[in-house]
Amino acid sequence: MQRIDFLAVDLGATSGRTMLATFDGQAVSMRELTRFRNNMIPLGGHLFWDIAALYHEILLGLGKAAAEGASLKSIGIDTWGCDFAFFGKDGQLLGLPYCYRDSHTDGAMDRFFKKMPAADIYRRTGIQFMDFNSIFQIDTLKRNGCTALEAADKILFIPDALIYMLTGQSICEYTVASTSQMLNPLTKDLDPDILAALGIGRERFGRMTFPGTVAGRLSAQVQAATGLPAVDVVAVAGHDTASAVAAVPARDKGYAYLSCGTWSLLGKETTEAIITEESFRENFTNEGGIEGTTRFLKNICGLWIFEQCRKEFTDVPEDVGSLAALCCTTGFDSLIDPDAPCFSHPVSMTGAITEYCRRTGQMPPQSPAEYCRCIFRSLALRYRQVTDILDRLTGERTEVLHVIGGGTRNRFLMQYTANAVGIPVISGPAECTALGNVLLQLKAAGLAPDLDTMRRIAAASVETVTYMPEDKDEWEEAYIRFLNIRNNYK
């Protein structure tokens, strides 16, 4: 068949990229057009996203595709979840979107539980409780008298907001909406009772749209700015993890997936949401997937801890691979719980680790090598703990763990993970999110009609590395220590 071009915009919480993809009928090949930082902006005592800068970077990527003569079939955008932007009746952006790491939602859950009990919210949504979920962000902004919220005609999640800026069409894409803790997985729409408790009408959100649907076309202004024609913009799986999971190159059942980046998300695809007393107690989440699937998973504070420590290190290698290699240091074995609240947004991440170790009776790290070893071994052991819980909740034993995302480039973390979890780890691809974005565009074009086809195309498009478990006894002892340390932290 004739080769067809697509463009994927993949935005993470620390960086973004535009990827030009070509489909030859069997596999997808991709190359990076542009890469850029996504900076949190400290302003007026809060943290914001510079969505105008992200939009500008998207235009630059589109312009580069046009300059290279790419004949784009469509464009897709995926981003992180939970955050949103406000637009007025005239279509204009009403200020910068708040960043989910802003501390204004500290204590927000307990405040909202006075309006609606936690058990009722979980029964309606099946979503894990995190204080930055959209439900708590909106309640906090309303409580604080946010003028942008009061004036907003449209409340659009970040990928939907960027689609609106490109096309003028307002949608509410299903997978990213599911991260809000306002979507009911049974009705597949925003829950009216939750919206009522927030005092927000359903009409302020876009029309519910499912992955693999054409949302609109580039506006005349965008066409003029980029040199592209009226290309379709597809609502892919707007939440980056949903796009990534769509591209897991799995050839069999019995697997779990770990999307490993700034956040780690560990879970399984299920046919229906799992909403039980135990899943509520363990704070597992049921996020929207593609083809009617549910992503039953747990959020884990991933490489955020390493990224923040890295900023504080001096006289160490600049490239991440060489820095990660420091974790091979032996003879030091302090451990932390990566999900302890003290690591959410500390002033100093190394200081937070030091304090955690002191409070749990451990010797704190003294060098970058010891910090790296502490972080990566602790992450691997947390993955083991969550995998055990996941197997219990789903009633299915995990036989293999597929790891996707930027963390797959860290071969030390991948080997540690195989050692800790005790099963084979299949690592790759690193750009799984962008690949899933493209696969959903293929679906919209009628070239990948179902999930099985997408998985076959994914497997034909990427190379993977398999890590086998090593040092079983050592890691079993470390796991027992990890659980004791975690339980003793106060």
Distance from C-alpha of 26 to C-alpha of 48, rounded to nearest angstrom: 41
Query: What are the CA-CA distances from residue 459 to residues 250, 266, 271, 290, 294 (Å)?
Result: 7, 20, 22, 18, 21
pLDDT score recorded for residue 328? 81
pLDDT score recorded for residue 101? 92
Helix, strand, or coil (residue 193): helix
Distance from C-alpha of 108 to C-alpha of 104, rounded to nearest angstrom: 8
The gap from C-alpha 450 to its chain's centroid, in whole angstroms, comes to: 23
DSSP labels, 135-186: HHHHHHHHHTT-HHHHH-SEEEEHHHHHHHHHHS--EEEHHHHHTTT-EETT
- Write the CB contacts of 360 (distance below 8 Å, at least 6 apart in sequence): 485, 488, 489
- Write the CB contacts of 312 (distance below 8 Å, at least 6 apart in sequence): 348, 349, 350
Residue 1 has pLDDT above 70, yes or no: no
Query: What are the CA-CA distances from residue 246 to residues 10, 112, 179, 252, 257 (Å)?
Result: 14, 33, 17, 14, 11
Q: In the structure, what pLDDT confidence band is assigned to residue 315 with cuts at 50, 70 and 90?
A: confident
**Catalytic positions, written as ranges:** 240
Within 10 angstroms of residue 116's Cβ, the number of other Cβ atoms is 17
Block residue for tokens 């780690």: 264
The C-alpha torsion from 173 through 179 and 181 to 187, rounded to 10°, is: 40
pLDDT in tens, 172-223: 999 999 999 999 999 999 999 999 999 999 999 999 999 999 999 999 999 9
CA-based nearest residue to 160, from 181, 177, 184, 182: 177
pLDDT score recorded for residue 87? 98
pLDDT in tens, 374-423: 999 999 999 999 999 999 999 999 999 999 988 999 999 999 999 999 99
Query: What are the CA-CA distances from residue 159 to residues 17, 36, 176, 242 (Å)?
Result: 14, 17, 8, 13
Residue 12 has pLDDT above 80, yes or no: yes
List b or e across 334-343, with b for residues whose CB sees 16 or more CB atoms inside 10 angstroms.
bbbbbbbebb
Q: In the structure, what pLDDT confidence band is assigned to residue 170 with cuts at 50, 70 and 90?
A: very high
What integer is the mean pLDDT of 4-9? 97
- Percent with pLDDT over 70 in the chain: 100
Distance from C-alpha of 178 to C-alpha of 160, rounded to nearest angstrom: 13
What integer is the mean pLDDT of 53-69? 98
pLDDT in tens, 430-462: 889 999 999 999 999 999 999 999 999 999 999
Positive or negative, the CA dihedral 421, 422, 427, 433 is: negative
- Percent with pLDDT over 90 in the chain: 89
Query: What are the CA-CA distances from residue 5 to residues 1, 20, 38, 220, 443 (Å)?
Result: 13, 7, 26, 21, 14
Distance from C-alpha of 164 to C-alpha of 189, rounded to nearest angstrom: 20
Question: Could you give the angle at the alpha carbon of 411 between the alpha carbons of 406 and 414, nearest 5°?
Answer: 80
212, 449 contact by CB (below 8 A)? no
Residue 356 has pLDDT above 90, yes or no: yes
Within 10 angstroms of residue 54's Cβ, the number of other Cβ atoms is 24
Q: Global pTM?
A: 0.87
List of domains in the chain: 4-241 (3.30.420.40), 248-428+449-490 (3.30.420.40)
Total residue length of the chain: 490
Positive or negative, the CA dihedral 166, 171, 172, 176 is: negative
Q: Is 46 left (phi over 0), alpha (psi -120 to 50) or beta?
A: beta
The gap from C-alpha 230 to its chain's centroid, in whole angstroms, comes to: 30
> What letter would DSSP give residue 97?
P
CA-based nearest residue to 165, from 236, 227, 85: 85
Average pLDDT, rounded, for the chain: 95
Residue 47 has pLDDT above 70, yes or no: yes
pLDDT score recorded for residue 244? 92
Query: What are the CA-CA distances from residue 162 to residues 159, 267, 474 (Å)?
Result: 5, 28, 48
pLDDT score recorded for residue 318? 76
